[in-house]
Structures are given as C-alpha cells and as structure tokens.
Amino acid sequence: MAAFGTAAGRPLQGRGGSLGFRFTLYAAVAIVVMYLDQRQHYLEQLRYVLQAAAYPIQLAVNSPPAAWRWISESFESRERLQAENARLRAAQRDLELRSMRYEALARENGELRGLAAALPPVADRWLAAEIVSIQLSSLRQRLLIDRGAVNGVFRAQAVLDDRGLIGQTTHVGPWSAEVILITDPEHAVPVRVERTGLRTIAVGAGDATSLALPYLPANADIKSGDLLVTSGLGGVFPEGYPVARVTEVHRDAVQPLAQVRAEPLAHLDTDREVMLVWFRADHPRAPAPTGKSLGELKSGTPSLQPLAAPPRPPAAAPAAAPQSQPARVRAPAAAPRKQPAESPPPEPQAPEPQAAEPKAAAPQPAAPEPPQEPPKQEPPTPQPDASQAKEHQ
C-alpha cells in the first residue's frame, strides 16, 4: 500500500531498491503465500478474514440482479401466484402421500437389517441458504451462499437441493461460504449406479448440465436412464443421495473405457436456494467419521478435500482393477482401494468387474509428496442456531 503515495519527483529506481529487486521481493512473497495456502493450509484464518472482507463487495456486485428479481416478483400477477399456490399444494399432498408409509418402512428396514430399533434418518439438521452469486463458466462452477461459520457451516459440508446433490463447501467465511458444484471440472463425487450397485466416480464436466463418468470399462453394466446415487465413500457425502441420471453411454470398440455422461438431478443453474445438511456422525450411512478419516488422511488420502480432477488414467489401469464389493463398505476412502488387486475376487452380486476408483484412493496427481496435511475440518457437531435451523426430520 505504501506505493500508492504519489512520488512524482523521485526517480523510478529510488524507492525500496531497484525495480527488479522489488519484483523479486513481491514474487517471493506471492510464492510463499501460495505454498502456505496450498501445501500447508496455514492460511485458513487469513482466508476467513479475506472472505469476510470480500462479502460486502460480493453482495453489492450481486445486488442489481437480486433487486431486479425482487421487483419482478413483487409485481407478479394474482393469477400467477394463485397458480403457483395450487401447484405447491398439489406437490405437498403428493409428498405427504409418499411419506405416509415412511415410518413403517423405516422400521421394517431396521428389522430386516437386524437392528433393534429403526435408525434415525442420517440427516440431522437442515439449513436453507440463499445463493448470493453464481460463477458458472467452463473453468469454475461455484456458488456463494449467505451462510457461514456463524451458522455452524464447516468446510467440506454437503450441499443439496430438493432434487439432488449440489456440491460441497470449500471456503467458509463468517457470513458466507463458497460452494464447489459437482459439475466443476475440479470436483469428483464417488457414486453408485442404483440399479446394479456398480461404483464409480462422477467428475464435473464444466457445464451445469453434465457430469462425466470417465472410469467405467467398456463392458460395464450401465445404460442411459440409470440413476446415480452417492456411494458414501470419500468422506463428504453420505450414502444414497441422488446425484445424476445417465444420459449417454458411448462404447467404442477400440476404447477400453466407456464414455458415459450423466445429467445432474439438482437444478444447478436455476436454483436460488440450497440446503446445507448436517449428518449424524454415528450413523452407519454417514460419511466417514471425522476422527477416523483424519487418521486416514494423515496416512495419505486427501479425500476430504474437493478432489482435483485427474488426467485420464492410462487405459488399462481401471479396467484391470476389479474390486470386491462387500454388502456394506464401511471403511471409506483409503483402506480397501489401495491395492491393485491382481486376482479378481469372486463376486456373487455383480458378474462384471467393478470399476475401480482410482481417484479417491490415489493421491492427487499434482501432489508428489503423499503426506498432505488434512484439511482443517471441524467435526460436524454444529453449534445449532436453533432459530434458523429447519428441523425437517
């Protein structure tokens, strides 16, 4: 900031050493900052402060569209409002009918699984957040939402809308948080094909309407219309939440991998509100318990971070790594997938080899040294802001 003062009379070389020296100085500072931020995660505090400082500007920048929306909503006609009201009523009746048998089904399910009492739902608490700004480009698919640390939001928290998965929080400020969408090219979500149980990874394709499934062998049992749900691996999203529907399966005779596209179920480009979710840590379907996953992370799996999309793997690798699928994989992320599994274990449920998940297990491609610091994730024990939390369940 010192350089903002006018210095009209002085020679160019005069202040703080020569030009080259000053450049070296600033470049060194920038590189140190980058190193601390990227490799050590020392700068969470600084990020927190900067995010707080940037929030008013972001609000201001996004106020014109918000104001326009508000105005157009205020002048909506009576007929339209009535029509919307009727539609919502119908939708609510529909949902109530569907949830009528929920209790009974949940108990029945619990009995079938041999549990004494039916488990409570995995989601503990919901909090609606409004979208402040949207960045949807082919490079970055991010949202800024108006809830932050004061509402108990933590890093790597799952974000949903009423139809499916949206993404997870990356940077949390006091009043705002940045959400990386599942369609961001840097994001990958471990999924399971609901029809067959086939597990794979869905990587963002950089536009709001498609995900890529790049790690499926050409003979994988997947077809257009299959529903993808979260597999519960990776430690961020709990099992069983809908993610996307397969729209396109392209098999090429010469390619060992199938080219599969899926369309996210969540309305990533039209949503105005999203839901932040807190999960019961002790629930069997919850993502990896924090303490345990931190231990695993220390041993080298940065699975709690937003996963960087890796370059396409060498063709043979995923296809040649079949993987047994126990009925309920509880040990998430690191443990079972490290071994390449030369001998394909027998697999009663699914005849075709499971697609391996090279992504969640392998260290990030650009991180040569495996022992990466775990992200500072607060345990998902929220400081409940009861007035604002909507207890849906």
Partner 1 sequence: MNAPSGGRILITGSVALVLTVLPLPPWLDVLRPVFLVLAVLYWSVNAPRTGDIALGFWAGLALDVFQGPVLGQHALALALVTYIAVREHQRIRSKPAFQQALIVFAALAVYEFVLFAIDGWSGHAVSSPLRWVHTVTGALLWPPVAAILAYGSRGRA
Please identify, using beta-carbon distances, which residue of 9 and 351 lies nearer to partner 1: 9
Residues 179-198 that bind partner 1 (CB under 8 A): 185-186
Side chain identity at residue 115, one-letter code: L
From candidates 4, 343, 346, 387, binder to partner 1 by CB under 8 A: 4
In this structure, how many other beta carbons lie within 10 angstroms of the beta carbon of residue 311?
Answer: 8
Q: Is 51 in the site for partner 1 (CB under 8 A)?
A: yes
DSSP assignment of 4-34 equals GS--TTS-TT-TTS-HHHHHHHHHHHHHHHH
Please identify, using beta-carbon distances, which residue of 57 and 97 lies nearer to partner 1: 57
Q: Nearest Cα to 232, choosing from 310, 303, 128?
A: 303
Kindly indicate which of the ranges 37-45, 83-91, 152-160, 312-320 contains the residues binding partner 1, using the contact rule CB under 8 A. Answer: 37-45
Please identify, using beta-carbon distances, which residue of 32 and 86 lies nearer to partner 1: 32
From candidates 67, 83, 90, 139, binder to partner 1 by CB under 8 A: 139
Cα 222 from Cα 197, distance rounded (Å): 10
Q: Is 19 in the site for partner 1 (CB under 8 A)?
A: yes
Q: Minimum CB separation from partner 1 for residue 62, in Å? A: 6
Q: Minimum CB separation from partner 1 for residue 110, in Å? A: 42
Q: What is the DSSP letter of 304?
A: T
Q: Is 6 in the site for partner 1 (CB under 8 A)?
A: yes
- For 147-212, give the secondary structure using H, E and C: CCHHHCCCCCCEEECCCCEEEEEEEECCCCEEEEECCCCCCEEEEEECCCCCEEEEEEEEECCEEE
Q: Is 59 in the site for partner 1 (CB under 8 A)?
A: no
Cα 149 from Cα 48, distance rounded (Å): 9
Residues found near partner 1 in the complex (CB under 8 A): 1-8, 10, 12, 15, 19-20, 22-23, 26-27, 29-34, 37-38, 43, 46-47, 50-51, 53-54, 57-58, 60-62, 65, 133-140, 185-186, 206-207, 308-309, 311, 364-367
